[in-house]
Structure 1
Amino acid sequence: NKNENILKWKNILSRGMCISIPDSKIEECFEANKCFLHLFDDGDEITPGPLTYHRFWFRDAAFMIHALDKLGYGDAARQKLATYPGRQRVDGFFMSQNGEWDGNGEAIWTIWEHYRLYGDQELIRDVYPSLRRGIFWIKRKRRKTHKKTGPEQGLLPAGFSAEHLGPNDYFYWDDFWSLAGIRDGMEASRVLGEDKDHEVFKKIYMDFWQDLQRSLKMVENRIGKKTLPASPYRRMDAGAIGSISALYPLRLLKPDDEWIVNTVDYLRQHSFFEDGFFQNMIHSGVNPYLTAQIAQCYIYRRSREAWPLIDYLLKIATTTFTWPEAVHPLTGGGCMGDGHHGWAAAEMLLLIRNLLLFEEDDRIVLTPILPREWTWKGAVIQVEQAPTYFGPMDFKIEFHGGDVSLEIQERFRKAPACFEWNFPFEIQRAEGDAGPVEIRGNVLFLSSKTHKVQVKTAGVGKKP
């Protein structure tokens, strides 16, 4: 009955990451999409749509399972990941459909991300033979291009991969995902003490990375600039959206890497309608989930250029905070895929999570692009039950005019090197309960042992 259903959903939502922020629209969007993510969950698999897309892809699942993991639903994520060996072909191919070569990297990356967030060594041990076969499949697949002499030498063969990248080609998207999968399999072998495999995987990774760098250098010589087109033979176009995966979500390149910065800048200047990424190949519409990926690149760069994109995503959402796969630029209705797109729901959840905290190398970054509009006297930012690579944590920020307080509660398995806390204005002084703090303009660096901090800032926001 109705009351039982209400109680059921309250229980589901209370178990995951919870937020309270000074922006009611973003907070409501977060809560709604937490519910929707579970509606896309079919138990042993998760699908990106209720109708047209009600089937499994490793690609969409990578983002949707990752969202389950990062929002605290590790048990639901694990249920799906445990089925991955059974979805793998005998030759090691994690196949969604033939011709999509990104599946192996996505499967391995998703499993390893789960381990990073939950320390689930039992799962890693159970699926390790499958990961191992997946890495050797990538190695064998690259042999198809070894005898070539062009920029595709050593890359994965031409395939159709994600349809928003364009016609069949040697997509860098496939290569970046495969590289990340090999890297993460290498880490899994280290954790399990498989030293011989670790050395073998390391060589496979380095050989692949060397071929990819050679290809990118040839592209640079052809185009005249360090950019990441969709493939080595393509000019820069909207398909380059796939190549920013080297930063988000894979972290193969740094946020300020010239290849990434130039590619994101190109897409912003040439492939946007208003403040949404417009994919003019196949989709012919504004893609909410791809817009969110570009916003993530800005967040990693600590750039407030992410905010117009976030505001636009909220603007084109339905009244219940859903999006189709692509939005018609004139009608505002859907023009591609299901009307309720599960990948878009996952991307929005991951985007809001990273607005509040994310991991970078050995640190945890708090409020990377904190807006002034959230800093008025009496405003509160609170995050509870947030999984991180170091273990779960809660934090609460309170604004008292120019005085700001931070309280952290954590259950870390292994402490980060530090916390990085970002403000929209200069910090005048700060004092923590775990020794000295370091101030760099509007950024505060805190010991990982910190639990309470008092800050004096040079500015204060006004309540909208």
Structure 2
Amino acid sequence: MMEYYRFTGDRQTLEACYPAMRRAMKYLEKLLSRTRSPDYMRGSRFPERFRGILPPSISHEGYSSPVHSYWDDFWALRGLKDFRAAAIMMENQDDAAWAGRQYELLRSALSNSIRATVETAGIDYIPASADNADFDPSSVSIAFFPCEEQDLLPTAAVARLYRRYCAESEKRTHPGWKGAYTPYEARNINALCLLGMRSEALALLRFLLAGRHPFEWNAFAEVVHGDKRRGAYIGDLPHTWVGAALVTAVRNMVAMEQGKRLILLAGIPEEWLRSRGGVAVSNLPTRFGHLTMDAHLKGYTLKVTISGDVHPPAGVMIRWPIEKPSQVIVDGENWSNFDASGCYLSQVPKEVTAYW
């Protein structure tokens, strides 16, 4: 609901939906009250894994029976953040304060649970659930987008999760591979871009696009098989959730919101920027207004021009397609606030030029 408001400014609809948003968050608190008791899961092994997070569910659809899925908790954190933002818009300070407290309680509990599960299960990656300590990057990736909670995840375990995922994914490109996968993996493109794994994000995008079958339909099935002639379950075709995830991922490669900042070119490869015309968008909707941008790389010079009514409160970050440049010019002036990852700007510039 808050994303709809951020993109449209439709306060009337936000006001009409606010009571339902409040009821949903109160029900969330009711669910969490089940696990906040010190006796919760007392008879289980390492019960601290389950304290304060959401109770078991199968909302993720990837489980045959209910589990304490961190997927639920990431979504809940996003819901609490957005409800707090809505309460502030409605000038309801009591609701805003309550949502803020609930958010901090759940965030702390989730952080503790993930670390406890990693330790007790003896794993070195971010697990998808407290019960199974399972390897499922596509579930964890929502922590990066749209939930924007990656900062609570242990950094080393995150790196190992996605390095392992990319290594295992590469095997699927070998001739004769007969396995199956779900293109929900498009969600991983968002995480890979934010982690600076640009080439891996592009490889995943190309792999998923190659999995369209029949290719001419330009649509995705819920399940894709390496053996195209195999008579097996494929789920919905077209699967619009998968299609939407892929469209969103490609859009985020160009421009992605993180909090109050807009990140540009996080997933755009060097070859696209060097192509004729480079990379351009016109009136691209964002949370912060409409973005018009042109970016191209010629020789050792990257030029990015920005216009439109886009005004992110925390400014813009432009991610480099290659290593750290030697010099950056912003609107005709030398700029020093950049590193190997990108250029940081508190205001939206008209033109940024980087030299290598």
Taking structure 1 as the reference length, what is the TM-score of the superposition?
A: 0.66
Distance 1:307 1:242 in 2: 19
- Which residue identity lines up with residue 452 of structure 1 in the other structure? E
Deviation of residue 418 (structure 1)? 3.2
**Greater Cα offset, 354-363 or 186-195:** 354-363
Tell me the CA shift for residue 210 of structure 1: 2.8
Q: Which moved more, 1:185-194 or 1:223-232?
A: 223-232
Q: Does the residue aligned with 1:163 lie in a helix, a strand or coil?
A: coil
2:5 pairs with 1:115: yes
Picking from 430, 443, 455, the partner of 2:342 is 443
- Aligned-residue offset at 1:127: 0.8
Residues 167 and 230 (structure 1), Cα distance of their counterparts in 2 relative to 1, 3 Å cut: farther
Match of 1:432 among 318, 330, 339: 330
Q: Deviations over 1:111-152 (max 9, x none)?
A: 122223333332222111111100110111123333313122
1 CA distance for matches of 2:7 and 2:154? Answer: 25
Moved more, 148-157 or 121-130: 148-157
Identical aligned residues as a percent = 21
Q: 1:446 to 1:170 in 2, by over 3 A?
A: closer
Partner of 2:141: 244
Match of 2:228 in 1: 331
Matched, 1:154 2:52: yes
Q: Distance in 2 between matches of 1:231 and 1:363?
A: 30
Which residues of 2 match residues 47-446 of structure 1 at below 5 A? 111-145=1-35, 146=37, 147-148=39-40, 149=42, 150=47, 151-225=49-123, 227-238=125-136, 241-254=138-151, 257-269=155-167, 274=172, 285-290=180-185, 292-304=186-198, 305-317=200-212, 318-331=215-228, 335-376=233-274, 378-412=276-310, 415-433=313-331, 435-438=333-336, 439-441=338-340, 443-446=342-345
CA contact (8 A) 1:427 1:442 kept: no
Residue 306 of structure 1 aligns to which amino acid in structure 2?
A
Give 1:91's aligned residue: none
The answer as to whether partners of 1:275 and 1:309 remain within 8 angstroms in 2 is: no
Cα deviation for residue 437 of structure 1 reads 2.3
Structure 1 residues 273 and 139, CA, compared in 2 at 3 Å: closer, same or farther?
farther
> Equivalents in 2 of 1:379, 1:395: separation in Å?
12
For 1:327 and 1:375, how far apart are their aligned partners in 2? 31
Please provide the CA RMSD for this pair.
2.8
- Shift of residue 222, structure 1, vs aligned partner: 0.8
CA offset digits 1:317-353 (Å, max 9, x no partner): 2234211001012227773311211011101111111
**1:79-135, Cα deviation, whole Å (9 max, x unpaired):** xxxxxxxxxxxxxxxxxxxxxxxxxxxxxxxx1222233333322221111111001
Runs ≥4 residues deviating over 6 A: none
Between 1 and 2, higher relative CO (CA 8 Å, sep ≥ 6) is seen in 1
Q: Give CA-to-partner distance per residue, 1:13-39, whole Å, 9 cap, x none.
A: xxxxxxxxxxxxxxxxxxxxxxxxxxx
Q: Deviations over 1:225-254 (max 9, x none)?
A: 45332321213334x532332223211123
CA shift in 2, pair 1:376/1:156, >3 Å: closer
Q: Structure 2 stretches of 5 or more lacking a match? A: none
For structure 1, which segment, 384-393 or 245-254, has the greater mean C-alpha deviation from structure 2 after superposition? 245-254
Q: How many residues align?
A: 339
